[in-house]
A and B are shown apart, each in its own frame.
Chain A
């Protein structure tokens, strides 16, 4: 298996634009996590799904952020409209038991 695959690896966008981050889970995994990493706040959990169902979205900053799992192997994180303070590295991770496997991340810069 190629592991958790995120795209794009880098994204630069202008303030106010819509941004969509994508994640492909490892085959057979049933939990999906979106994390945001910044120097100030470290690794913050945004939302996680279990069997395609959102279990906890309390970490989603505000209504500008939304996440979906259209099927068992794929997820998107959308930011609309984007703001400079959203600049960070966004990771998705998947798991079947306790160990979470992380993707390489998407570095988002909002100018």
Chain B
């Protein structure tokens, strides 16, 4: 099955700096790569996703890049704010209706 590796496990940045979280996947057939944000006491929530036919996608301060050849994808958060502090999970999936395989998560702390 699909194996998703995520790093770093913890990341601390100062407010206004950029944060980058990286993930690798094992199954070259995977075609959908979402990123979820989990705040304390809540369930994960989708913040951005990318499909295998696209190399980059942006949504305001967040962006995701995908390198299919290397089988890795990254989350970029610019101009970080304290409210960005949370645990972020990457995931990969092969086909609609199958279950997401999640990375172990990155705990991001943005200090004022």
Q: Which residues of A contact B (CB under 8 A)?
A: 4, 30-31, 33, 42-43, 45, 48, 50, 55-56, 91, 93, 95, 97-105
Q: B46, A91: Cβ atoms under 8 Å?
A: no
Given contacts A43-B44, A103-B43, A104-B42, contact A98 B102 (CB under 8 A): no
Q: How far is the CA of A11 from the CA of B96 in the complex (A)?
A: 33
Q: How far is the CA of A21 from the CA of B102 in the complex (A)?
A: 22
Interface SS of B by simple majority: loop
Contact mask for chain B residues 38-49; partner A; CB cutoff 8 A; 1 contact, 0 none: 000111111001
Q: B49, A99: Cβ atoms under 8 Å?
A: yes
Q: How far is the CA of A97 from the CA of B32 in the complex (A)?
A: 11
What are 9 A-B pairs at a CB distance below 8 A? Answer: A48-B98, A48-B99, A55-B97, A91-B43, A98-B32, A98-B93, A99-B34, A99-B49, A100-B46
Q: A31, B42: Cβ atoms under 8 Å?
A: no
B104 close to chain A: CB less than 8 A: yes
Quick one: which of B43, B46, B49, B105 has the most chain A CB within 10 A?
B43
Using C-beta atoms within 8 Å of the partner chain, give the interface range for chain B: 20 to 34
B25 close to chain A: CB less than 8 A: no
Given contacts A98-B49, A98-B96, A99-B49, contact A43 B102 (CB under 8 A): yes
B89 close to chain A: CB less than 8 A: yes
Chain B contacts of A97 at CB under 8 A? Answer: 96
Question: What distance in Å separates the Cβ of B5 from its nearest Cβ neighbour in chain A?
Answer: 11
Known interface pairs A43-B105, A93-B43; 12 further A-B residue pairs with C-beta atoms within 8 A, sorted by A's residue number:
A33-B100, A43-B44, A45-B100, A48-B98, A55-B97, A56-B98, A91-B43, A91-B44, A102-B43, A102-B44, A104-B42, A104-B43
Q: How far is the CA of A91 from the CA of B32 in the complex (A)?
A: 21
Q: Which residue of A lies closest to B36 (CB)?
A: A102
Given contacts A98-B49, A99-B46, A99-B49, contact A50 B97 (CB under 8 A): yes
Q: How far is the CA of A8 from the CA of B90 in the complex (A)?
A: 27
Chain A contacts of B81 at CB under 8 A? Answer: none
Q: A31, B97: Cβ atoms under 8 Å?
A: yes
